[in-house]
Amino acid sequence: MAGTVLITGAGIGIGRAAARAFAAARYRVIVTDVLDVEGESVAAAIRAGGGDAEFHHLDVRSTEQAEAVLRAVEIKFGPLNCIVANAGIAHKVPLSQMSDDAWDHTFEIDLKGMLRVIRPALAGMRARGSGAIVCTSSIMGVAYGWNEHVHYSAAKSGVVGLIRGLAVELASAGIRVNGVAPGYIRTAQLLSEQHSLGAAGAEAASAFIPMGRIGEPEEIADVIVFLASPAARYMTGQTVVVDGGLLVGRY
């Protein structure tokens, strides 16, 4: 057993792919999500394949839920080896309609939700002298603005700052903190006609991606596993862009 990893937003998309990738790397996987059916399905599939996984309902907007889940997992399995803070939303809201509530809703999930799951795990990681944290940002947080998604871009930029700050503060405790910034990835979010590019727009994006296609969730998951692994043992405070060459290819 390589260790225990807790993944938020693991019922679908990149989180689901990460859960499968960690299971393949022989981690015990704690699948968390607000999507109970999807989350339990991911955990069940891992167990059916001979892996070790369990599902916990977790709304990262709730400090109480986050602390309760972390406490239950640590009582059962000991301190976590890794956290993948991945849960996020991206709702299209024109600035003229941007209420405080709409802004706060995105930040509560996409940024503060990460702190809520990381914070209660740190005592155990410090006691053991090691740990890895991987946070999901976005190319919209490291390089691009996104029309009618200013709250999302701002929150995902905040994730990069969170990664840097935590990395510096936790390095002496043996805890590494890194992030991944996906480009256009084939997820339900990207394929949403209401909130993102939609299916046709996603395929059209291939024309300006140097590698000629949008990415797959598994291609982000493999980088997440790498960042959590001993292969990245001298990396901390970094946000790795995984975008098929999109940023360097836009002239």
- Tell me the pLDDT band of 208, cut-offs 50, 70 and 90: confident
- Tell me the pLDDT band of 94, cut-offs 50, 70 and 90: very high
Chain-wide mean pLDDT for the chain? 94
Mean pLDDT of 55-82: 98
pLDDT at 29: 98
pTM of the model: 0.95
CB 152 within 8 A of CB 192: no
Strand order through the sheet with 239-242: 52-57, 27-33, 3-7, 82-85, 131-136, 175-182, 239-242
pLDDT tens readout for residues 107-159: 999 999 999 999 999 999 999 999 999 999 999 999 988 889 999 999 999 99
Residue with tokens 């692994």: 229
pLDDT at 42: 98
Q: Please state the φ and ψ torsions of residue 205, each to the nearest 5 degrees.
A: -60, -25
CB 15 within 8 A of CB 187: no
> Annotated catalytic sites, by residue?
152
Task: Answer yes or no: is pLDDT of 201 > 70.
Answer: no
Helix H or strand E encompassing 175:
strand 175-182
- Set out the domains of the chain in order of their start, with CATH numbers: 3-184+217-243 (3.40.50.720)
